[in-house]
Structure 1
Amino acid sequence: MKDAPVQTLAAGRPVPTRGMVSLLAALAAIGALSTNIILPSFPAIGAGLGVSDAQLGVTLSIFFVVFAIGQLIVGPLSDRYGRRKLVIGGLLLFAAGGVICSLSPNLTWLVLGRAAQAAGVCAASVLARAIARDLFEGETLSKVLAMVIVAMAAAPGFSPLLGSVAEQFVGWRWTFATVSALGLILASWYALRLPETHATSRRTPLAIGPVFAAYTQLLRDARFMRPATVVACVTGALYGFFDAAPAVLIGALGLSSLLLGFFFAATVPVVFAAGLLVPKLSGRWGPQKTLQLGVMLSLAGGMLICGVNVQAPTNLVGFTAALCVFLFGMGMANPVGTALSLAPFAAQAGAASAMLGFMQMSGAALGATFVTKLAGLSPMAALGLVVVASQVLSIALFALLRQQPPKPYAR
């Protein structure tokens, strides 16, 4: 499939090409990739800087916090000034943050570098969805977002394996440098491939009052909140799995750290398969029913994980099968929920994408926290409980918000 000329993008809705979709997927995925890639290097980083794994946990916390809050700032800025400068500038800041991490003499500099990485890469992540909304609509938007969100969900699955391999061959400092190089390559690709996609005529003023009002209206609008809460809940369950996986797979099921990385990577095709199925199901049943089916499958996966924990807590095959049911449902619910959240808000795509991203990262932080805080439960039981509880919550909120009429959105 040959890419359309760049100059046709401003004239109307382009036909999505492989190159364009791959670029948007890469923009969305690099943030998720950089979240987990350092996990296998924790022992080496701790030894090199003289700190414990527990102290290194702040490098993850600061990344989540800055990433979540940064999206709320980037979204309105992009609605006012456009996407292009923020994406390129953000990726350059991300690359600089990686260099700071690679040269860090102590934990303080490493935390500062991780904060810079998060502040820069959040622009690429949140604006990948906004750019897709700028360019496409309807069923085409759903198809493109399916690929973008699948890449975003799959990246954390590949990143521990990539981090493990990089740690063995080049060391943790060069791992950060390599991630920085990827950021520079992606910035160049974007600069050469896409022009500005947010037309000047559709830009909105930038002021604290209107920005606050825009976010408030989104939070009060059932058209946004119904699918967005589903996305936040399935994301929370997914990151609960990432947090619990080492204890479950290494501690309970006896895998090595390298096999853990391969296990993560082996689950990625399940998410891809679900994402490929979403456009077909949405075309046949509609996006709302497809979203509900994804949530129900995620809930079933969580219940199966609980069942495995009770019946056969050392059964790798049983756990893997139950996990795949959850991942398949998550892979369906995430992209269609994202498309439904953004579709009604063309002029505010940046703000809507930012709020959605904030809710996703908040869900991720809560899911990971609850898995670790459920004292007295085995890691597998805690994971199953978090998955079930999050999906039950999303079902309840989805039903509750249905009773709210859509709010008129201020232009």
Structure 2
Amino acid sequence: MQSVSSVSSARPSATSGYRLSKGTVLPLAGLAALGTLATNIILPAFPGMAVSLDVSSRELGLTLSSFFVAFAVGQLLAGPLADHFGRKWLVLGGLAVFAAGSIVCAVADSLSFLVFGRVIQAFGACAASVLSRAIARDLFDGEVLARALSLTMIAGAAAPGFSPLLGSALDGLFGWRPIFLVVAIVAMALAAFYGLRIGETLPLALRTPLRISSFATPYGRLIVNRRFLFPALSLSMIIGGLYTFFAAAPSILLDVLGLSPFELGLSFAATVLIVFVAGFLAPRLAHRWGQRRVGMAGLLIALFGGLSMFAFALAPSFISFTIAIAVYLLGMGLINPLGTAIALHPFDRQAGSASALLGFLQMSSAAIGASFASILPLPPLSSLALVLTIASGLAILAFIPVVLGRQFKEMPRT
């Protein structure tokens, strides 16, 4: 089989006939999962971090919201740079910045220093996340692109899903600081794997000139393009709800439901199964029923999950909470790869900018959702239920034009 680099350099556009392989999917999954890994792995360590830094667990929420904001803004810079310079050196540079930020977090002796390290982490991780989608768009098209994104999501879910277990174990054995050293090592290993197995995927013929306008013009054109705007907004609402769940989970599972940090890790690991199922189902259902119909079905399922959480909010239990969030994750798992493919498909020459703007919208939604969940004058579970329900409802409204609009054609089936 030809290497990815040789295929991409030989062809001026995405190649829908390129065969998916572990050597392609695993590095892309790692790049896509890095930001979530860096967030989820520290969640079980919040109690120890709070004691060590003499702050409350609620104040540690700054380490999440600051990460989300920096992650969102950084992507807007990474997209045009990647479309001009190519993917490889931005990926490797981003991973190096992420590792440096992780080391800063590991030696932090105050909350402000820890937040500073998290911001550096976010600026590095955002390049990896943006370019995981852009690289997939460089290489694949049509249904193959949707399958690539689905496989990336499935493989990428394992790291953030199981990382709280690892974080809990490391915190119990060595304290919270080595957790950040571990993620720095992961980033360096991922850089080596990516460099050896994928490398550069954007041919010189497809690179765009770099001007000051390069950082505004592509986004201006994308944000008014219905083919990008509606699927991107819809997907961003749902992903924002996912990150709100990540931010709210420690308070709900540890404080309200009384789980231990290790049990919190097990709970997150159980969600991986739901994402696996949805990831396997999404491209298969889309092949039969179409990406837009299956995407809308996923949004309706996510809405039902948010509404279900309201039904149990007054008398919460671990089982009822798990069922409700599992339903939401099932819907999210269906719309995520399909919505991403729909949003990126028309923009092969602007794949980096389109992916960056999509990531910006997603992380902005995450920051807004997490902030609302923490400041609403409601119990934590009710706040999360409200955010998930509103996010799902808005996502459905944004996706209606995608389902009904003639300009949203089904991508070619292969």
For normalisation by structure 2, the TM-score amounts to 0.91
Q: Which residue in 2 is equivalent to 1:124?
A: 128
Unaligned ranges ≥5, structure 1 = none
Q: Which residue of 1 aligns with 2:21?
A: 17
Q: Does 1:250 align with 2:254?
A: yes
Question: CA 1:401/1:267 → structure 2, altered by over 3 Å: closer, same or farther?
Answer: closer
Q: Which residue of 2 aligns with 1:359?
A: 361
- In the other structure, the counterpart of 2:411 is none
Shift of 1:326: 1.1
Q: TM-score, normalised by structure 1?
A: 0.92
Q: How big is the shift at 1:143? A: 0.3
Between the aligned partners of 2:194 and 2:241, the Cα distance in structure 1 is 31
Q: Report if the CA contact (8 A) 1:4-1:15 is conserved.
A: no
How far apart are residue 299 of structure 1 and its match?
0.7
Amino acid at match of 1:366: I
**What's the counterpart of residue 102 of structure 1?**
106
| Matches of 1:58 and 1:360, distance apart in 2 | 18
Task: Tell me the amino acid that sits aligned with residue 283 of structure 2.
Answer: P
Task: Give 1:43 shift.
Answer: 3.0
Give the alignment partner of residue 295 of structure 1, picking from 299, 302, 305.
299
Q: Classify 1:86/1:266 alpha carbon distance in 2 versus 1 (closer, same or farther; 3 Å).
A: same
The Cα shift of 1:57 comes to 3.1
Query: In structure 2, what residue type is equivalent to 1:382?
Result: S
Whether the aligned pair in 2 keeps the contact of 1:308 and 1:318 (CA below 8 Å) is yes
The alignment of Structure 1 onto Structure 2 pairs a total of residues equal to: 403
Q: Partner of 1:309: helix, strand, or coil?
A: coil
Q: C-alpha deviations, 1:105-157, integer Å up to 9, x for none?
A: 43443233222211111111110000000011111000001122344555443
Q: 1:4-43 counterparts in 2 under 5 A?
A: 4=3, 6-12=5-11, 13=15, 14-43=18-47
Comparing 248-257 and 62-71, the one that deviates more? 248-257
CA deviations on 1:325-376 (whole Å, 9 max, x unpaired) are 111001101111111111000000000000000011011112212222221x
One-letter code aligned to 1:367: G
Q: For each residue in 1:16-70, what CA deviation from the matched residue of structure 2 results, as whole angstroms up to 9, or x when unmatched? A: 1112111110111111100232222233333334444344333222211111101
Q: C-alpha separation between the residues in 2 aligned to 1:55 and 1:100?
A: 19
Partner in structure 2 of residue 223 of structure 1? 227
Structure 1 contact 294–329 (Cα < 8 Å) conserved = yes
User: Bigger shift: 317-326 or 342-351?
Assistant: 317-326
2:274 aligned residue (262, 270, 286): 270
Tell me the amino acid that sits aligned with residue 300 of structure 1.
Answer: F
**Does residue 325 of structure 1 match 2:327?**
yes
Amino acid aligned to 2:394: L
Structure 2 counterpart of 1:370, one-letter code: F
Is there any run of 5+ residues in structure 2 with no aligned partner, and where? 409-414
Paired with 1:140 and 1:109, the residues of 2 have a C-alpha distance of 44
Q: 2:350 aligns with which of 348, 357, 360?
A: 348
Identity of aligned residues (%): 47
1:374-393 correspondence runs (5 A) = 374-375=376-377, 377-393=378-394
The 2-side partners of 1:220 and 1:305 are apart by 35
Are residues 402 and 259 of structure 1, via their aligned partners in 2, closer, same or farther at CA, if it must alter by over 3 Å?
closer
Letter of the 1:191 partner, please give it.
Answer: G
Q: How far apart, in 1, do the equivalents of 2:134 and 2:300 lie?
A: 28
1:396 lines up with 2:397 in the alignment: yes
Q: Is the 8 A contact 1:3 1:20 kept in 2?
A: no
Q: Distance in 2 between matches of 1:172 and 1:318?
A: 30
